[in-house]
């Protein structure tokens, strides 16, 4: 039986890590030329800095969060106060934020495309929540999903239920939603003590076969081999499709709410590459390999890479998150995703105090994290 205090520490570390990553990325956000972040800020960024004049987050105080971070904090406050995920309560909070915006990028803190689409649906077209989801393939929902992954870490089905429902509020694309749920499930698994190794995805995929995870599982080639041998290795070793999976539990058909497990399998390959001595990528060049821009398909591989590459170091959290920040592009989202992963590994207790106490409103934040963790893993 796992230590409740350790589980709670990892709950708080995951959410706090996402908030810190977001806040660290606000100042140096969206510089797309390698080395431009360091040129603009006089060296390696290792603390909270203000955005330069004319940049995306001009006027946001160092240590404060972006609008994506605001959505995460609204969800954290809602879940902590309600004790559970109440979509009605959260949507009321989102409507309150939308009331302060005008649908343009700069009516408040920088408003990304997904939230501009949501604003238009709610305020101009009078659509209901559930109808307004954007087809932007961005990571805002994945970043705030950390709150739900942490709150419901003891039940993967509840992670799936709540993250799927919450993601659909702002993002409609099913591939993006599947990637978001995969990330949230990985975070929940790490909180539960699953090793962040090359086999994490295949272990989770086994749970999908039993219905313990809301994914279909597909049939991998290696699972067909025993059935192929039993069928007499028809057609030169490849048996007919009817026989080839006869000894394998048939997967459920995918639907718009039942996703393929590719997103669960992704981190295992990234981890293997990050820790392979024959694979060498300078940390600040990682986004050049996986993608610099805002698509979640670019951001998640880089976040998994940073979380794996610096594993085992005493400064694991700081080294991984700061590398994500200093690597440019959509470094703010990349750092938030990285912070959630590593925070879930090391726990709040290992996150440097200077990064916690540099956050705007950190004194009010810590009690919310305590409440979330206590609800996630109550005393026996």
Residue stretches of the annotated binding site for Mg(2+): 66
d(CA 342, CA 169): 27
Q: How far apart are CA 331 and CA 68, in angstroms?
A: 13
Residue ranges of the binding site:
66
Phi–psi pair at 134, nearest 5 degrees: -85, 155
Half-sphere exposure of 213 (CA within 13 A, CB side): 29
R_g (Cα) of the chain, nearest Å: 21
Q: Is the dihedral of CA 154, 194, 316, 177 positive or negative?
A: negative
């Amino acid at each position: 039986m796992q230590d409740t205090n350790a589980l709670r520490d990892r709950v708080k570390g995951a959410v706090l890590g996402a908030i810190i990553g977001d806040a660290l990325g606000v100042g140096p956000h969206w510089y797309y030329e390698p080395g431009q972040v360091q040129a603009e800020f006089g060296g390696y960024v290792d603390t909270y800095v203000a955005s330069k004049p004319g940049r995306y987050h001009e006027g946001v105080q160092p240590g404060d969060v972006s609008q994506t971070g605001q959505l995460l904090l609204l969800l954290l406050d809602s879940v902590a106060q309600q004790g559970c995920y109440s979509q009605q309560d959260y949507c009321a909070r989102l409507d309150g934020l939308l009331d302060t915006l005008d649908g343009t990028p700069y009516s408040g803190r920088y408003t990304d495309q997904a939230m501009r689409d949501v604003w238009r649906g709610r305020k101009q077209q009078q659509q209901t929540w559930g109808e307004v989801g954007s087809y932007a393939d961005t990571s805002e929902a994945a970043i705030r999903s950390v709150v739900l992954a942490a709150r419901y870490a003891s039940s993967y089905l509840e992670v799936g239920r709540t993250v799927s429902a919450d993601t659909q509020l702002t993002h409609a694309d099913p591939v993006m939603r599947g990637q978001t749920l995969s990330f949230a499930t990985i975070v929940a698994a790490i909180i539960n003590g699953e090793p962040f190794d090359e086999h994490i995805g295949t272990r989770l995929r086994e749970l999908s076969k039993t219905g313990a995870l809301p994914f279909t599982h597909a049939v991998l080639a290696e699972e067909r081999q025993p059935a192929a041998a039993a069928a007499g290795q028809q057609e030169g070793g490849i048996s007919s499709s009817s026989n080839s999976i006869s000894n394998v539990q048939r997967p459920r058909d995918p639907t718009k709410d039942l996703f393929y497990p590719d997103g669960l399998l992704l981190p295992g390959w990234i981890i293997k590459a990050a820790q392979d001595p024959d694979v060498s990528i300078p940390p600040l060049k990682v986004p050049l390999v996986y993608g610099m821009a805002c698509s979640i398909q670019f951001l998640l591989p880089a976040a998994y890479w940073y979380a794996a590459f610096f594993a085992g170091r005493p400064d694991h959290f700081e080294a991984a998150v700061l590398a994500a920040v200093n690597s440019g592009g959509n470094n703010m989202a990349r750092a938030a995703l990285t912070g959630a992963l590593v925070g879930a590994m090391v726990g709040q207790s290992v996150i440097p105090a200077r990064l916690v106490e540099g956050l705007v409103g950190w004194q009010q934040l810590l009690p919310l994290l305590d409440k979330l963790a206590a609800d996630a893993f109550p005393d026996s």
